[in-house]
A and B are shown apart, each in its own frame.
Chain A
Amino acid sequence: MNGRPDAAADAWNGVLVAFSGIVKTYGMGDATVHALRGIDLVIRRGEFLAVMGPSGSGKSTCMNILGCLDTPTSGTYLFQGIDVGALSREGRALLRRHRLGFVFQGFNLLNQSSALENVELPLIYRGLQPRERRRKAREALEAVGLLDRQSHTPGELSGGQQQRVAIARAMVIEPALLLADEPTGNLDSGSSREIMELLTAFNEDRGITIVMVTHDGNMAAYANRTIHFLDGRIDSEVQNGDEPT
């Protein structure tokens, strides 16, 4: 596998992700929690999708399933035509390794490692040689404008800078899908705008598909499309510029 969409994916008419009837329940009997109650969703390549909704509406569960960190209880999830539900734990890990990038609200960088080492990390698991790894990681850091901070540890960087390092780490593998879970949730408005401009640039210039969870309508405005979750269902869907349906 490699980071680029293959022939099979192209045959899918630009559809990257297809959810059909995705249900996720936790627990059993009376204690059963219905996190997702049947989601149908198609994400096309190159799309920038914002996901909104109150807490407990199922958007995090949806992100976990999208990110192949979790599997649906029922329904089908096709990623580039691959049935993710049929993959083993290892198969899903390999999919994450080669196709998916993650950006978290809490940055989730390794605190003892430098910015460069954090960005190198996914490449280590892809088995790249040190020289090649370092070159790619530097490129990624340069793309987020932090090449001069490459040897700083996360503790020595501001929140916005940390999140940019996290974006560089997600982008270094040239993912087919970048998942951002409230990437600006811990940042001030200035840093938030920087992060959003960075994400938009990656989406527009490199055609990276992005799915972003946010509580902030201003941030959602950067996306092409916004979906609202409510009680485990998609409540509404808005194309950028359109009025809510």
Chain B
Amino acid sequence: MIRETLLLALRAIRRNVLRSSLTILGIVIGVASVIAMVTLGGGATAQVSSEIASLGSNMLQVRPGQGFHGPGGARSAAPSFDRKDVEAIRGQVYGLEAVAPVSTAGLQAVSGNRNWSTSVLGTTNEYFDVRDWPLGSGRIFGEGELRSGKAVCILGTTVGRELFGDGDPLGASIRLEKLACTVIGILASKGQTSFGQDQDDVVIIPLRTFQRRIAGSTDVEAVYLSALDGVSTTSVKQDIEGLMRERRRIAEGKDDDFHVRDMQEIVTALTGTTRVLTALLGAVAAVSLLVGGIGIMNIMLVSVTERTREIGIRLAIGALERDVLLQFLIEAVVLSSFGGIFGILFGLLMALAGARAMSVPFILNPGIMVVAFLFSVAIGVAFGYFPARRAARLDPIDALRHE
């Protein structure tokens, strides 16, 4: 019985190919956009996560002030760190792989007649370990250079390209405001962060050089550190918080005047954003699925009217209400499932093209395909029921008389 009904539905759909395709267009578009959005969203999330892993997933940052407060907030009031804080963290927190003090400034870098606005970062060699960032060429700082604050620098690839073009910057001299320093190394390229920031747009100099020649103070802006493999960043974070509260004499119950940021936090914030975006687009897609469902209902109603005589014949020769109901319901479900299948295929194509265009990885999500398909089936049932019931309730005498 089901088999016959299914064949019947397929035949009815084939009889009106154009109409059937237009009917399912709404479902196709709805399902396609869900599939495309979720697939692209999944790809983007995966990319963000992998980018953050490239920042160093076991990395933590300690900064004075609270969290993401802007200038003028708690940050300005909070005392900054200095070398002793760095040594305390290094000495007293268990499970650290590397600890790097960092100070930054936005400066103009000049070489000959070229100049380039970049960010200058004063730190120690441990920074390269924390960021897991090898040199592309040249060498890291020598012990003496770090201790005495020599005017040497390591360039990010972007700065190297902007100042020297195709030429080799190694051994050349660049000027950072009044500080003339010799280029001793070039970092390997790291690319953009997911915030769109060019990580290679940086000049790294010894911290002491930075403090004496640029900042004019012994302050340390932030401490970057990385945990050893297998050590939980959460426990490291707690240890640092305890230590810093003690060192900064923060009374019980008072808020921290510093912030330990763990990369996991950023991952959560970012994936949270993508999730909100996906949910929003999902809502739009749901609306288009609803519209698609109404389209199916509309066409099924037309179909019932057109086939009134056929329904009359079926009822007269012994079809029960439920036989007719099933016939039209199955037809609606077959229609909407076709919409679902085409929508999935179309959505995957869209996602593939989108992933190429946005250079995001294309990650298949079988779960959402199953959900989208079941959803389109459910739409067929929901919107096919009313027309099918109307067909089933027809009076055979009137239906047979219908022209």
Interface positions of A (Cβ within 8 A of B):
64, 67, 69-70, 89-90, 93-94, 96-98, 100, 102, 104, 108-110, 112, 121-122, 124-127, 169, 173
Contact = CB atoms under 8 A, between A and B. Distances in A.
B389 interface: no
B306 to A, nearest CB: 12
Contact of A93 (B1, B310, B321, B397): B321
Given A64-B397, A69-B396, A127 B319 contact: no
B321 A122 contact: no
A170 to B, nearest CB: 8
B121 to A, nearest CB: 77
Contact of B316 (A69, A90, A98, A127): A69
Contacts of A100: 318
Contacts of B397: 64, 69-70
Contacts of B310: 110
B315 interface: yes
Nearest to B317: A122
Shortest Cβ-Cβ A-B pairs, 6 listed: A97-B318, A122-B317, A125-B318, A96-B318, A108-B313, A93-B320
B1 to A, nearest CB: 6
A104 B319 contact: no
B4 A124 contact: yes
A100 B323 CA distance: 18
A104 B317 contact: no
Contacts of B317: 96-97, 102, 121-122, 125, 169
Interface of B: 1, 4, 11, 15, 309-310, 312-321, 323, 396-397, 400
Of the candidates B312, B315, B316, B400, the one having the most CB atoms from chain A within 10 angstroms of its own CB is B316
A93 B319 contact: yes
A96 B316 contact: yes
A112 B15 contact: yes
A92 B301 CA distance: 26
Contacts of B316: 67, 69, 96, 102, 108
Contacts of B315: 93
Contacts of B309: 108
Contact of B314 (A89, A104, A121, A173): A121
13 contacts: A69-B316, A69-B396, A97-B320, A102-B316, A104-B400, A108-B309, A108-B313, A108-B400, A109-B313, A110-B313, A122-B317, A125-B314, A169-B317
B318 A126 contact: yes
B201 to A, nearest CB: 70
Nearest to A121: B317
B400 A125 contact: no
B313 A90 contact: no
Contacts of B15: 112
Given A93-B321, A125-B320, 14 more contacts: A69-B316, A69-B396, A69-B397, A89-B321, A93-B315, A94-B320, A96-B318, A100-B318, A102-B317, A109-B313, A110-B313, A126-B318, A127-B1, A169-B317
Nearest to A108: B313
B15 to A, nearest CB: 6
A152 B103 CA distance: 89
A122 B316 CA distance: 10
B323 A125 contact: yes
B389 to A, nearest CB: 14
Contacts of A104: 400
Residue in B310, B320, B396, B397 with the greatest tally of chain A CB atoms within 10 Å: B396
Nearest to A89: B321
Contact of A90 (B4, B321, B396, B400): B321
A94 to B, nearest CB: 7
With most chain A CB atoms within 10 A of its CB, the pick from B314, B318, B323 is B318
A89 B393 CA distance: 10
Contact of B318 (A70, A110, A122): A122
A183 B192 CA distance: 83
A47 B72 CA distance: 106
Contacts of B4: 124
Nearest to A169: B317
Contacts of A69: 316, 396-397
Nearest to A111: B310
A70 B323 CA distance: 20
Nearest to B403: A106
